[in-house]
Each structure stands twice: as structure tokens, then as C-alpha cells.
Amino acid sequence: MAYSLCNWRAAIKNQAPNQHFYFRGKAEILCKMMRSYKSALLLRPFSSLKNPSYGYRRLTSSSSNPLSDDSDNLVVVEGKAGSRTAILNRITSLNALNTSMLARLLKLYKNWEDDPDIGFVMMKGGGRAFSAGGDVVSLYNLIKKGNLEECRQFFQTIYSFIYLLGTYLKPNVALLNGFTMGGGAGISMPSTFRVATDKTIFATPETLIGFHPDAGASFYLSHLPGHLGEYLALTGEKLNGAEMLSCGLATHFSQITKLPLVEEQLGNLVTDDPSVIETSLGNHGDTVHPEQSSVIHRIDTLDKCFSQDTVEEIIESLENEAAKTNEVWCTSALKKLKEASPLSLKVSLKSIREGRFQTLDQCLIREYRMCLQGISGQISGDFCEGVRAKLVDKDLAPKWDPPSLEHVSQDMVDQYFSPLSAFEPELELPTKQREAFN
């Protein structure tokens, strides 16, 4: 879907005159142009599988680096004539995100937005990952020490940065080569352009460590075609770059061998016009199809299973399909669902379903609340137990509490969504200055 300036201006002309701005201190027309353009890109329709398309949060076990690190070298800046690129540089940890990295990104992006000499910005990961997600082992260690305040700062910082990206005035590009998972996906999905490659691996596997897809996942997953969002959220299954493009998680696709050329051409641009950037990306895009074995080709069956009202009904529907077809995606999904935390499955399903009817800021505020409830240990200790089993002791035998779906009460699920205590402030976002798109 290509949007020209005349498309945007026509859309602006038809907008209500009292519509609030969600960009801060910039020209009215460009504000609304970017809002229309970003919304269209994020909510692109599901590409036809009959036509060509153009164009994991890996649960890192790196505990050697603390959640908070003062080194600016963790995010390196590359400057061009009309753009800036933030390079995630925690390479040995697959660019696992910590508070210092996110605080630096937040500061950089705010400064770049206010700099009239910068037309657009980019983000990429050093090494073989964009970002494998948040440093959950460091979170685990902090929780074990009773230091929930630093955990809170981490979530507050990443959610503030995601909101900034989701309301950003200037075009921004995310080059998603390699692992793009969980929090790593969270800081890339609000980008105007999201370029996947043949090496990109996307996943939101939080239920497998007793957590829920966060960092805006309930917003962007719920806006995917049909009930693909529920499938990805509950099972944690991976998608490759071609599948990301087909379902709208990526806006463009380029072979890894072309990525240096893509970057070179973008670096030569001096513009703040999204259509110019899109043209440049399109010039080096590749035609790709999801493989025949891809779940993308089973969307009708997937929708039938994952549109069910409860996790139990989803599993029953999958079991019926597996018995009839013996398809790999069905049996793999069932295996993942049975490995995941029962409580996390029910919490995640409710989160995606609520996100489908909420704005970005509403999703972030709710997810922040869910994160603090999840790490508090007052409802369940599943997050720490999941990290221990998968990433610390690596015995791969978590003891979930509750141990099965039938033991998960509705009160336990609802508690994740309940307001925080009077002593714990809710997430505050600058919604009056920066209005989020729907």
C-alpha cells in the first residue's frame, strides 16, 4: 500500500477540525500526515497468498551484565547528512535490552525529533540480532534480591520509549535482521517502516516463561489478520521474514545480502517525506512467498481454533484438527500450549482480546500494570519459575502454580488487570501532548 502526499492531504482535509494532535510542537499538517501514514502501515490488510509480496523476544540468558549499565556504548549513533541511526550494541547478549539502553534511546529519539536538521531516524541491531528482548535473567535476579524498584524502572522506561515511537513526528525505520523478539519486537513495531530479511526471526514466547506478551504486544498482535495474534501470543511460535511481511508485521523485505545497499541508499537521503523513504525501500525490496508449510497458509483453520472463547476450547479445537489432519503446525502449537504456564495462557488471551479494542496508550498502561502484578509474586511466582527453568538452571521443567488450566481461577486472571495499590503509581504517558493513534 503506497501513500502519496496527495493521499495524505486528502485524508487531512476530511478529518474533523477538532481532532487532537498527538505530535508535540510541530506543524499541524505534518502531524496528521504521519498519523494517517503510520496507522495505514501498521494496519495493512493481510497480503493475498496468491500474489507475490514485496518488499525470537528471544529469552536471553545473559546475566553477566546488570539491568542497569551506565555505558553509552550500548547504543552507538551513526550520523548521516539528513538522518541518524541508533545501533543496539550489546552484541554478546543478542542486544538484550536493559534500562540504560532504553533510557539512552529515549533521550536520543527526543533530541532527534526536535532537531530540524534530521529528517528521519533508523534503528538496527549490531551482530546477528536486532534485539532478543528484555534481559529477563537480570529481572529475575533483581526480584530474587527483593529489588522491585529497578524492575519497575525498566518497565517504565521501555513503555515510555514505545509510546514515544508510536507518536513520533518523524519517519522512523527499523531494520529487523536476526532475532526480533518480545521487547525487541516492542521497540520496532511502532516504526513507520519495518524491514525484515531472510534471517529475521520474530516471536513473543513469554508464556513459556510464565509471563505475558508485553511491550505493546497486545496492541500490535491484536491488529493482525484474524486471530493470528492469539496464536502467536499463546504459543510463542516463530515467524520468518516472509511470514512477517505477509501478515503485516513487516512493511518491507530485503535479502540479507542487499541490506548494506538498503542502508547506503537510506543514508544518502535528505528528506522527512515518508513517501521518499518508502520508494527507496521499495527499490531494493524482494518478492517473497511464505513456504507452503507456513501457518500463514492455514489462516482459516487457525482462525477457527483461536477464535474460541477460552484457552480450554482453543486446545480442544486444535486437538480435533490435529486428529483429522495431523498437520505439523497443529501438533507444534499443542506442544507449546502444554509447555506454557496455564495462568499466563489465560492472562495473555484476555490481554490480546482487550487490546483489540484499545488505543496504543491504553494497551501500554494496562500492560505496565500487568507486568508489575506479574513480577510481584502476589498472584503467582510463575515468572521467576519460568526463567529459572528455561534460562538459569535450564532443567526445562518448570513447576507452574497453578499447575493446570482447571486450577486457574477467574479471580487470579482478573487480578493481573486490576489497578495497582495506592503506593504504586500507574504508568503516566504524555497523552495530552502526544495523542496515540488507534
- 44 assigned to some structural domain: no
Query: Is residue 377 flagged as an active site residue?
Result: no
| 411 neighbors 140 (Cβ within 8 angstroms) | no
β partners of residue 179: 129, 201
Q: For the chain, how many structural domains are there in total? A: 1
Three-state DSSP state, 88? strand
User: Whose CA is closest to 100, among 154, 162, 179, 166?
Assistant: 154
Cα–Cα distance for residue pair 136/75, rounded to 1 Å = 19
The pTM score is 0.84
Catalytic residue among 113, 135, 214, 237: 214
Per-residue pLDDT, averaged over 397-409, amounts to 95
Query: In this structure, what C-alpha cell is assigned to residue 408?
Result: 486457574
Side-by-side strand order, sheet with 172-176:
75-79, 83-88, 120-125, 172-176, 193-196, 252-253
- 381 assigned to some structural domain: yes
What's the pLDDT at 371? 96
| 171 neighbors 277 (Cβ within 8 angstroms) | yes
Cα–Cα distance for residue pair 165/163, rounded to 1 Å = 5
- 437 assigned to some structural domain: no
- 49 assigned to some structural domain: no
| 117 neighbors 88 (Cβ within 8 angstroms) | no
Query: Is residue 206 flagged as an active site residue?
Result: yes
- 213 assigned to some structural domain: yes
CA distances from 426 to 152, 156, 167, 233, 305 (A): 11, 10, 20, 24, 35
pLDDT tens digits for range 251-303: 999 999 999 999 999 999 999 999 999 999 999 888 898 999 999 999 999 99
pLDDT tens digits for range 196-233: 999 999 999 999 999 999 999 999 999 999 999 999 99
- 159 assigned to some structural domain: yes
Catalytic residue among 183, 236, 285, 374: 183
Cα–Cα distance for residue pair 219/222, rounded to 1 Å = 5
At 263, which CATH number?
3.90.226.10
- 148 assigned to some structural domain: yes
- DSSP state, residue 407: G
DSSP codes joined into one string, 320-376: HHHHHH--HHHHHHHHHHHHS-HHHHHHHHHHHHHHTTS-HHHHHHHHHHHHHHHHH
Query: Is residue 285 flagged as an active site residue?
Result: no
pLDDT tens digits for range 24-79: 233 333 444 554 544 444 444 333 333 333 333 333 434 444 555 655 789 999 99
Q: Which structural domain range is residue 157 located in?
A: 69-417
Query: Is residue 264 flagged as an active site residue?
Result: no
- 55 assigned to some structural domain: no
β partners of residue 125: 88
Catalytic residue among 55, 119, 125, 134: 134
| 139 neighbors 67 (Cβ within 8 angstroms) | yes
